[in-house]
């Protein structure tokens, strides 16, 4: 990670020395420069997180310096400082890409907060790029978003099973990304060039499922005028995704068990078996332990399927991923998320809701906002009433009054409101910043609030 340095440019030596002292005392790496032209040289040779520049200086003025710095190092934030600051020059500076505008005499509290916020923002950005880069080296997970510890565990599993083709059982509530994960497992495996065949077992009539899966021979039933392959044969060399596996009838369960044990299928009406090379991934949103207890699901089939077990977390358990997911869906529907802003109030509402329909519901909420014509700023008014009207301190929808869960949620809301700024979140919560850091570590809140 680059270290975060601050450069302060002013032609007044006295100001430079005050700033130098103050920022060093705050623990920042700070350099000062009295000439705009020399400042540009420095920015070309080393990386600064942020440059503060006086507006009126002899050689080149602050606006020109801002323009040249942005040209040489676009990721460096520039803040114009001026005693002659008028609204017009502030607006002009922002238009040219100034991050903010600082008035002289400098308010040192605000000065410090500004720097902290910029460094924190850049640190999180680098951290996210680093994590993403590391994960991307191993597999493609482009469409699976989330950096919470629970999602990272899932990436680790996907990563581990990219070789060999162990059978996978994915459990999780509706809308948590089971189908998406199955697809990603396939794309990340050495079968990626083979077919990926999803089958919704719950949507196919019991009497048809067997022949859909395994095919049939001519004359096997009325209307079977010729031999036909099933979905297992179609998936040869690839992956079959058996969604809603708990809905499968006892007869089909027996056939599936045979496929998993012997890697052979028998078409309906046939006496011979065919060898198939298919990886099976199954998913369910039902509690399969209960189905086994009630004897509606075979325990031996469960063990065959559950070689690798993945449980998708409900969205209410990975609330810290909401900002990333929201950005992801904005890009998904708009092609790009630049220029889009979600107000802190709207983000607070999104992070305070309990999401019974999980990520699918969140995706629908964003899609709905676009359908209603929202432009560039997504605010509370653009959210459905059940989310917009919920006060963020209303925990009545919680299934239990777990104080730790509530504490975690409040901290995440504060982080959401402050765009991830821990110092500001601490102020908002009335606790000190070290407590915020401790709670973040305790609850495994990911660095995703940007
Ligand atoms: N982690 C994620 N990142 C980005 N998009 C996601 C994520 N999880 C789910 N989605 C999106 O949410 C929607 C629902 O996901 P998916 O269909 O995979 O859920 P599911 O668990 O299979 O639901 P069901 O049990 O109802 O079939 C999809 O559009 C999917 O792309
Ligand atoms: Mg699904």
What digits encode the pLDDT tens for the residues 31-64?
999 999 999 999 999 999 999 999 888 889 899 9
Q: Say how many residues make up the chain.
A: 450
User: Could you tell me where in the chain the CATH 3.40.50.300 domains are found?
Assistant: 149-313
Mean per-residue pLDDT, 228-240? 94
Mean per-residue pLDDT, 389-394? 64
Q: How far is the CA of 247 from the centre of ligand 2 (A)?
A: 13
Mean per-residue pLDDT, 104-128? 84
Query: How many CB atoms are located within 10 Å of the residue 46 CB?
Result: 13
Assigned token pair, 263? 């890697």
Nearest CA to ligand 1 atom 26: 174
In short, whether 174's Cβ falls inside 6 Å of ligand 1 is yes
Nearest CA to ligand 1 atom 18: 177
Mean per-residue pLDDT, 293-315? 94
Q: Which fold has domain 149-313?
A: Rossmann fold (3.40.50)
Task: From 184, 202, 360, 363, give the residue whose CB has the most ligand 1 atoms within 8 Å, as the site to mutate.
Answer: 360
Residue matched to tokens 């021979």: 217
Task: From 140, 175, 310, give the residue whose CB has the most ligand 1 atoms within 8 Å, as the site to mutate.
Answer: 175
In short, whether 328's Cβ falls inside 6 Å of ligand 1 is yes
User: Could you tell me where in the chain the CATH 3.40.50.2300 domains are found?
Assistant: 5-128
Judged against a pLDDT cut of 50, whether residue 352 lies above it is answered with: yes
CA–CA gap between residue 324 and residue 448 (Å, rounded): 7
CA 410 to chain centre: 20
Query: How many CB atoms are located within 10 Å of the residue 433 CB?
Result: 14
Q: How far is the CA of 27 from the centre of ligand 2 (A)?
A: 50
Q: Tell me if the domain spanning 316-443 has CATH number 3.40.1190.20.
A: no
Nearest CA to ligand 1 atom 15: 177
Q: How far is the CA of 370 from the centre of ligand 1 (A)?
A: 19
In short, whether 359's Cβ falls inside 6 Å of ligand 1 is yes
Number of H helices, E strands in the chain: 19, 14
Assigned CATH for 5-128: 3.40.50.2300
Give ion ligand 2 contacts, CB < 5 A. 178-179
CA–CA gap between residue 413 and residue 417 (Å, rounded): 6
What is the position in ligand 1's atom list of the atom closest to the CA of 181? 18
Mean per-residue pLDDT, 229-238? 94
Exposed e or buried b per residue across 103-141, where buried means at least 16 C-beta atoms within 10 angstroms of its C-beta:
eeebeeeebbebbbbbbbbbbbeebbeebeeebeeebeb
Q: Which of 25-34, 268-277, 325-334, 427-436 has the lowest mean pLDDT?
A: 427-436
**Can you name the residues that pair with 282 across neighbouring β-strands?**
169, 242
Whether the CB-CB separation of 5 and 20 falls below 8 Å is answered with no
Highest mean pLDDT among 140-154, 352-366, 393-407 belongs to: 352-366
User: Could you tell me where in the chain the CATH 1.10.8.60 domains are found?
Assistant: 316-443
């Amino acid at each position: 990670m680059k270290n975060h340095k601050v450069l302060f440019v002013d032609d007044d030596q006295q100001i430079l020395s005050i700033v130098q002292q103050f920022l060093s005392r705050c623990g920042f790496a700070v350099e000062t420069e009295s000439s705009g032209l020399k400042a540009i040289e420095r920015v070309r040779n080393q990386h600064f997180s942020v440059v503060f520049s006086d507006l009126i200086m002899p050689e080149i003025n602050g606006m020109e310096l801002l323009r040249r710095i942005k040209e040489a190092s676009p990721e460096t934030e520039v803040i114009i400082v001026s005693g002659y600051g008028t609204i017009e020059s502030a607006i002009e500076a922002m238009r040219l890409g100034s991050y903010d505008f600082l008035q002289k005499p400098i308010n040192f509290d605000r000065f410090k907060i500004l720097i902290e916020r910029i460094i924190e923002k850049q640190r999180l950005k680098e951290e996210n790029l680093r994590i993403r880069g590391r994960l991307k080296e191993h597999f493609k997970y482009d469409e699976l978003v989330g950096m919470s510890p629970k999602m990272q565990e899932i990436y680790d599993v996907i990563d581990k099973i990219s070789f060999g083709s162990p059978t996978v059982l994915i459990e999780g509530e509706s809308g948590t990304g089971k189908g998406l994960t199955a697809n990603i497992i396939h794309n990340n495996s050495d079968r990626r060039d083979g077919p990926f065949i999803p089958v919704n077992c719950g949507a196919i009539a019991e009497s048809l499922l067997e022949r859909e899966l395994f095919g049939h021979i001519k004359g096997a039933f009325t209307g079977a005028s010729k031999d036909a392959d099933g979905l297992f044969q179609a998936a040869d060399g690839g992956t079959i995704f058996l969604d809603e596996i708990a809905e499968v009838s006892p007869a089909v369960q027996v056939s599936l068990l045979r496929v998993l044990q012997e890697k052979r299928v028998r078409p309906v009406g046939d006496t011979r078996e065919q060898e198939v090379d298919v990886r099976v991934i199954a998913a369910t949103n039902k509690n399969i332990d209960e189905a086994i207890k009630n004897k509606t699901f075979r325990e031996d089939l469960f063990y065959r399927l559950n070689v690798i077990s993945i449980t998708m977390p409900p969205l209410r358990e990975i609330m810290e991923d909401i900002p990333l997911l929201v950005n992801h869906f904005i890009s998904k529907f708009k092609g790009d998320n630049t220029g889009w802003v979600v107000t802190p109030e709207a983000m607070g509402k999104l992070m305070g809701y309990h999401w019974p329909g999980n990520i699918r519901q969140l995706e629908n909420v964003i899609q709905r906002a676009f359908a209603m014509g929202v432009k560039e700023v997504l605010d509370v008014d653009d959210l459905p009433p059940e989310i917009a009207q919920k006060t963020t301190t209303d925990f009545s929808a919680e299934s239990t009054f777990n104080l730790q869960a509530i504490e975690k949620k409040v901290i995440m809301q504060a982080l959401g409101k402050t765009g991830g700024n821990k110092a500001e979140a601490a102020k908002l919560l009335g606790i000190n910043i070290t407590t915020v850091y401790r709670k973040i570590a305790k609850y495994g809140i990911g660095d995703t609030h940007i």
